Amino acid sequence: MKTNILVQYQGGGYDSCFWERNYFYIDKQGTFYDIHSSGRAGIDNLKGALALIERDETHTYIYDLSNKQDIKAFSKETHPVHISGVLQWFNDNEDIEFFAVCSACGYGIDSCDDMMIEDKDLFCIECYSIGECQCCESYVGADSMIAVDQSEHYGFDYVCTDCKEYHDEEREAVNIKDIRWQAFCTGTPDMFSGELREQRLQTNGGL
Ligand SMILES: [Zn+2]
Ligand SMILES: [Zn+2]
């Protein structure tokens, strides 16, 4: 009998025929633990677990937790919300090595407190913070973050490309307004020729 294995299988199966991923763990001593089971296909005992492994169905995945590659494979093949659920279970129940893998840096994450889920990805706190725009409070990924002059960006040293664009346009609009006001009061620059005229035509605006 295989031991120290995490098994992912198709459980669920209610009247509406809704199938969902279920999980159990068999420790080194061969003790069965039901991590999550649901519906009539859910398994809550060792006998059922062994029968399932025996049947060797396509939707059953067995991970040998003595093997780091298997633990990594689990992170690759599983939805982050489920990874988090399984990791939480190991955090709460067992003293065996288990970890989730950060989608960005590939390092292991030992605790649910140290991970962030973003859509279909799972990140360690560090990678998440590098890719999170503090200004609009959304995760955009490290590639979309730009170092900026904080005096022009509400005190932020890094903002996402969208925020930068927005702030730049905002500043530009204020500048034009200032120049127009100056032109209106002093006659310089001429409101009706050159750049200001171009802008008036573009924006259909006056003062
Ligand atoms: Zn990371
Ligand atoms: Zn932003």
What is the pLDDT at residue 132?
Answer: 95
Distance 133 CA to ligand 1 centre (A): 16
Distance 134 CA to ligand 1 centre (A): 18
Distance 126 CA to ligand 1 centre (A): 6
Q: Relative to the alpha carbon of 161, which ligand is closest?
A: 2
Q: What is the CA radius of gyration of the chain?
A: 28
Distance 114 CA to ligand 1 centre (A): 10
Q: 125-176 pLDDT, tens per residue?
A: 999 999 999 999 999 999 999 999 999 999 999 999 999 999 999 999 988 8
Match 């169905």 to its residue by tokens: 57
Biggest CA pair distance of the chain: 91
Share above pLDDT 90 across residues of the chain, in percent, rounded to a whole number: 69
| CB within 8 Å of 82: residues ≥ 6 apart | 21, 23
Distance 136 CA to ligand 2 centre (A): 4
Distance 120 CA to ligand 2 centre (A): 20
Report the alpha-carbon distance of residue 71 to residue 61 in Å, rounded: 12
- What six digits make up the tokens of 27? 């420790």
User: Chain-wide mean pLDDT for the chain?
Assistant: 90
Q: Relative to the alpha carbon of 108, which ligand is closest?
A: 1
Does 6 score more than 60 pLDDT?
yes
Share above pLDDT 70 across residues of the chain, in percent, rounded to a whole number: 94
Report the alpha-carbon distance of residue 60 to residue 87 in Å, rounded: 19
Report the alpha-carbon distance of residue 57 to residue 124 in Å, rounded: 33
